[in-house]
Chains A and B, each alone.
Chain A
Amino acid sequence: MLIKHPADVAPSDITPRAVFDARRDFMRSSAIGIGAALLGAGLPDKAHAVAARGKTLGPLVKSPYSTDEKLNDFDDITSYCNFYEFGTDKSDPARHAHRMATRPWTVSIEGLVHKPKTLDIDDILKVAPLEERIYRLRCVEAWSMVVPWVGIPMSALLRQVEPLGGAKYVEFVTHLDPKEMPGTRRQVLDWPYVEGLRLDEAMHPLTIAALGLYGEVMPNQNGAPIRLIVPWKYGFKSAKSIVRIRFTDKEPLSSWTKSNGREYGFYSNVNPEVDHPRWSQERERRIGEFIKRKTLKFNGYGDQVASLYTGMDLKKHF
């Protein structure tokens, strides 16, 4: 397999969270100072949700799959989220996700497998060495971020149950508890949230079970304690807060496809050549940047994943 971006970023080059935060706080307090001086009043800061500090995860193995692009800061990653179980506004998850209990937490891996298992999250953390994977994240809404995830290859987790030969697809199901998740009290989507991948996509080395970000335990609003990350697909494919993984022989029907199959296909690979009816997918706004940048096919991971789709009409299988 050809790896386009070797890890030429030294661990020491990655700005630690604390430094990032300090820098951000300084800039913000300066801005508030100027604003307050102009307005004659210090107004409370409402747009930035305060994320509680998570437990540090480590030691982390660096990955050759990581990009060396500039990271989005912790505040942006944790305050601007699509996690409809907590509400449809991007600020809702940061406001409400703290209600979700992430311990005890088990993930049931079942379906067409030799050894179905229910794994405890603390055991999943030990399935394979934790890696730092700095990936581009491209949302179908034409914005993107660069996120330093912490996780393990999804294949390491899936191999625990020894899939049967007939297993062709993997379905991921998100936690559902209306008491903890105010967004699920309305049928915005058909809860619980379901996503699916082809088996070879799920086993691909780029696909990870993410357990944290910025070297810390996953913040709840980003899909704690365990979520899927498939960096060459639109963000909604990367299901959050997973409780069940099921091997099947039929293509799983994902929640978004079910709600609007014309707009959200099973594959949903990042593809500037296939327009979404609401958004042109040719360009994207990297959060923190002003001018939109060109969207790369497969979100720039084409060298690694294009071969998965050889001979397929990606306009038809969007």
Chain B
Amino acid sequence: MQARAQPGVGTRSATRNGAPDKRQFAWIWRAVWLACLLPLLLLVADALRDALGANPIEFITRATGDWTLRMLLLTLAVTPLRHLTGWHWLVRLRRTLGLYAFFYGCLHLTTYLWLDQFFDAGSIIKDIIKRPFITTGFAAFTLMLPLAATSTNGMIRRLGGRLWQRLHRLVYAVGVLGVAHYWWLVKKDITEPLIYATILAALFALRIWHARRMHRTLHAQTA
């Protein structure tokens, strides 16, 4: 985490534009990191006190899937939120959020492969081929792999900012596939997948709106 030095500004007080200083950011980052871990801790606590209901495997699958989607949407919310608030330091939380989405995605996939299917390769392959919601879920996870693998500062340097940024646009596809995965799983009541889809669409709309605005401003300046 590289915090930009702000010369002439006290270390304890907030810097210009309301951006936190190095020390404050460290605390914010820790709080976010812990908050993202909390759903897992609560799930483990529920498991320990036998409170996962009649079908614990289904419960764990649902919970880890829900949190993968939520983390993914939070990751995708960082840039629009920056544009709306002008809090550009938020971008420094994005990697943590994105990696947590990947982390919950790993737990979700592991639950399916291990607890649900018990590594029955034949049945898993059939599922991936035949069931659209599993196909999309699997595709979403696969696309997260290169993103997680290139999430380090070293990889950003090696790839170069431009290429890295292009590669990481895959996260949009992951978002769409993730929501489709949930939508197609649901038997009848699509309320919840609809909520995720609406948020995703709103986030995309905000990005497009911002890009257009920037474009116009740029034109106005160059004209």
CB pair B54 A76 closer than 8 Å: yes
Which among A2-10, A119-127, A244-252, A275-283 touches the partner chain?
Answer: A275-283
CB pair B46 A47 closer than 8 Å: yes
B36-76 interface (Cβ within 8 A of A): 45-46, 48-55, 57-59
Q: How far is the CB of B50 from chain A (nearest CB, A)?
A: 4
B92-132 interface (Cβ within 8 A of A): 115, 118, 123, 126-127, 130-132
Chain A binding surface, main DSSP class = loop
Residue interface bits B128-147, CB-to-A below 8 A is 1, else 0: 00111100000000000000
The verdict on A60 contacting chain B, using a C-beta distance below 8 Å, is no
Q: How far apart are the CA atoms of A102 and B45 in the complex, in Å?
A: 38
Given contacts A28-B50, A35-B48, A285-B55, contact A278 B187 (CB under 8 A): yes
Q: How far apart are the CA atoms of A88 and B133 in the complex, in Å?
A: 19
Closest residue of chain B to A288, judged by CB? B54
Closest residue of chain B to A292, judged by CB? B118
The verdict on A317 contacting chain B, using a C-beta distance below 8 Å, is no
CB pair A84 B49 closer than 8 Å: no
Given contacts A188-B189, A283-B123, contact A48 B55 (CB under 8 A): no
Among B45, B54, B133, the one with the most A-chain Cβ atoms within 10 Å of its Cβ is B54
Contact of B49 among A32, A280, A283, A285 (CB under 8 A): A32
Which among A38-46, A222-230, A304-312 touches the partner chain?
Answer: A38-46
Q: Which residues of B contact A283 (CB under 8 A)?
A: 123
Q: How far is the CB of B195 from chain A (nearest CB, A)?
A: 14
Known contacts A47-B52, A48-B53; 13 additional CB pairs below 8 A are A32-B49, A36-B49, A43-B45, A43-B51, A90-B53, A90-B54, A91-B53, A186-B189, A280-B123, A283-B123, A287-B54, A290-B115, A291-B118
List residues of chain B with CB under 8 Å of any chain A CB: 45-46, 48-55, 57-59, 115, 118, 123, 126-127, 130-133, 184-185, 187-189, 191
Between A and B, 26 residue pairs with Cβ closer than 8 Å are: A31-B49, A34-B48, A34-B49, A39-B45, A45-B49, A47-B46, A47-B51, A75-B54, A80-B54, A88-B189, A88-B191, A90-B53, A90-B54, A141-B187, A188-B189, A275-B130, A277-B131, A278-B131, A278-B187, A279-B131, A283-B123, A285-B57, A287-B55, A290-B57, A290-B115, A292-B118
List residues of chain A with CB under 8 Å of any chain B CB: 27-28, 31-32, 34-36, 38-39, 43, 45-48, 72, 75-76, 79-80, 84, 88, 90-91, 141, 143, 186, 188-189, 259-260, 275, 277-280, 282-283, 285, 287-288, 290-292
